[in-house]
Amino acid sequence: MPTPLPSPTENRLLALLRRAGLLDWFLPALVGVVGLAYLAPEVGSKASPLPWKVVTTGGVALVFFFYGLRLSLDKLRTGTRNWRLHLVVQGTTFVLFPLLALAARPLFGSGSGQLLWQSIFFLCTLPSTVSTSVVMVSLGRGNVPAAIFNASISSLAGIVLTPLWVRAVLHPPGAEGSDLSGLALSLIWQVVLPVAAGMLLNPRFGAWVERHKSRLRILDQVIILSIVFTSFCESFAEGVFRSYAPANVALLAAGMVGLYFLVFGLVAGASRLLGFAAADRTTAIFCGSKKSLVHGSVMASLLFPATAATGALLLPLMLYHALQIILASIMAQRFGRQAVAAGTLTME
């Protein structure tokens, strides 16, 4: 018996779901790994016998190696010359975010409200993500060489600018001269060297990588899923959410969503006013709106050594980290579909 064809109403519904990104496997997978982390946090926490750190670290390096394979020196030179784009991204990360937090300070009152504001301000001083930013720019058909450049520069600049902001405004007790060279070393191993190695091999293997872009996109998504899973496993295993009522966590999450879309909208508007091409707008939006949980976790222990409630300090960051991936994945895939439909050429 032949399978009945879908009705026009069903066709419209499927088209709407596809445009919303709800028929892509990646978004349900994101929700699924968070649920799995809640049910079995020991699987992905630090106490797990599984080498999750090796998997995520190696995976990020592999992703950047393949990005390097797709980059020629000419493309990278073109990307690094776009100084207006770089100023927008870095200005958003290290100036706009902290100023928004400072403007919101009176809304938090005193006592526990100020502690919450301090954790949000700390979030706003952090550098952008590296892997997630570049992956989202790639999914959105943006300027990938410029994304790699900006994400790497952001991480390096954050080693200096985040402590300066924190010490100038929050005056953390017990924070002496902190050695953040480990972050720079991690950046070199996970980003700079893999990209450089890939670029050296671009003349020989670049065409092969272009033919397998769709499979490499799946690799990008799997790496993001592993990062989200281990991050949530660690937070659930440490009981970070136990001292917060569900309503308060939901309200904080709503605030993080509002912060994300506020920055998203401001960067999008500024990019249009500056006359950026579509690919550069995508890069500015997705690089400028991210905050790094990896950098935040390390810097919190270094900049707040006398603070017992490090988990509470990181709660807004963990919420923002998870929500930015979910929201950015929806928006990036929407941008990518629009770029393909419009026939936009991008620097991938």
Q: How far apart are CA 155 and CA 336, in angstroms?
A: 26
Q: Is residue 285 scored above 80 in pLDDT? A: yes
Structure tokens at 12: 């419209």
**Structure confidence at residue 313 as a pLDDT band (50, 70, 90):** confident
Is pLDDT at 177 greater than 70 in this prediction? no
With a CB cutoff of 8 Å and minimum separation 6, the contacts of 176 are: none
| 129 secondary structure, DSSP code | P
d(CA 223, CA 54): 12
Is residue 284 a contact partner of residue 152, using CB atoms and an 8 Å limit?
Answer: no
Percentage of residues in the chain having pLDDT higher than 70: 75
Rounded distance between C-alpha atoms, residue 39 and residue 233, angstroms: 9
pLDDT digits 0-9 by tens, 39-58: 888 887 777 777 777 777 77
What was the pLDDT predicted at 13?
43
Find the helix or strand (DSSP H, E) in which 173 lies. none
- 126 versus 196: the higher-pLDDT residue is 126
**272 vs 277: CA distance, rounded Å:** 8
pLDDT attached to residue 76: 61
Does the model's pTM come out above 0.75?
A: no
Contacts for 269-274: CB closer than 8 Å, 24+ residues apart: 270/88, 271/88, 274/84, 274/88
Burial of 334 (0-12, 13-18, 19+ CB in 10 A): middle
The predicted-structure confidence for 215-260, as pLDDT tens digits, reads as follows 777 777 787 678 778 767 876 777 766 666 778 788 888 999 999 9
Cα 48 to its chain centre, rounded Å, is: 24
Q: Identify the CA nearest to 220 among candidates 339, 335, 62, 20.
A: 62
Q: Check pLDDT > 50 for residue 308.
A: no
Q: Which of 5-9, 31-35, 264-268, 332-336 has the lowest mean pLDDT?
A: 5-9
Task: Give the rounded distance of the alpha carbon of 211 from its chain centre.
Answer: 27
Report the range of poorest mean pLDDT among 198-202, 290-294, 307-311: 307-311
In degrees, to the nearest 5, what angle opens at C-alpha 182 toward C-alphas 180 and 186? 130
The confidence band for 188, taking pLDDT boundaries of 50, 70 and 90, is confident
Arithmetic mean of pLDDT over the chain: 77
| Contact in structure between 55 and 251 (CB atoms under 8 Å) | no
Neighbours of 73 (CB within 10 A): 11
pLDDT at 273 over 90: yes
What ranges in the chain are assigned the alpha helix state H? 8-19, 26-39, 52-69, 73-80, 83-91, 97-104, 112-125, 131-139, 144-169, 181-187, 193-211, 213-237, 246-273, 278-288, 293-303, 310-342
Which is nearest to 144 in space by CA: 56, 57, 85?
A: 85
Distance, first Cα to last Cα, the chain: 46
Q: Is the pLDDT of residue 175 over 60?
A: no
Q: Cα separation of 191 and 62, whole Å? A: 9
Closest by CA to 123, choosing from 348, 345, 322, 346, is 322
pLDDT value at position 82? Answer: 83
Structural domains in the chain? Answer: 49-341 (1.20.1530.20)
Give yes or no for residue 19 having a pLDDT over 50.
no
Tens digits of residue pLDDT in 55-104: 777 777 787 787 778 766 776 666 667 889 999 999 999 999 999 999 99
Asked whether the beta carbons of 33 and 228 are under 8 A apart, the reply is yes
